[in-house]
Amino acid sequence: MLLVYGFIPKEKTLEKTIEKRARQIATAIVRRTSHTMHLKDQAVSQEELKKSIEDKTQKIINEMPKYLWD
């Protein structure tokens, strides 16, 4: 008897799955930092937040850190 199994991502491709997870992590990191900056009266604009999230997302995708899958 042979049992074969596989994983089918909810997203259409593995790349989209990675991008979605990286964006979740990047958003959490940037929002935490933004909150701290806001408390110190150093808030940034929404546009800057979006750019920071995009930059951090790409960095996470490129580096593929272990915590991406935690």
| Boundaries of every domain in the chain | 14-64
**pLDDT band at residue 54, thresholds of 50, 70 and 90?**
very high
- Across the range 48-62, mean pLDDT stands at 95
Question: DSSP letter string over the chain?
Answer: ---------SSSSHHHHHHHHHHHHHHHHHHHHHHHHHHTT----HHHHHHHHHHHHHHHHHH--GGGG-
Statement: residue 70 has pLDDT above 80:
yes
Cα torsion through 64, 24, 57, 30, rounded to 10? -120
Q: What mean pLDDT value characterizes the chain?
A: 89
**pLDDT band at residue 63, thresholds of 50, 70 and 90?**
very high
Statement: residue 14 has pLDDT above 90:
no
- Give residue 41's identity as a one-letter amino acid code: D
The pLDDT value recorded for residue 26 is 96
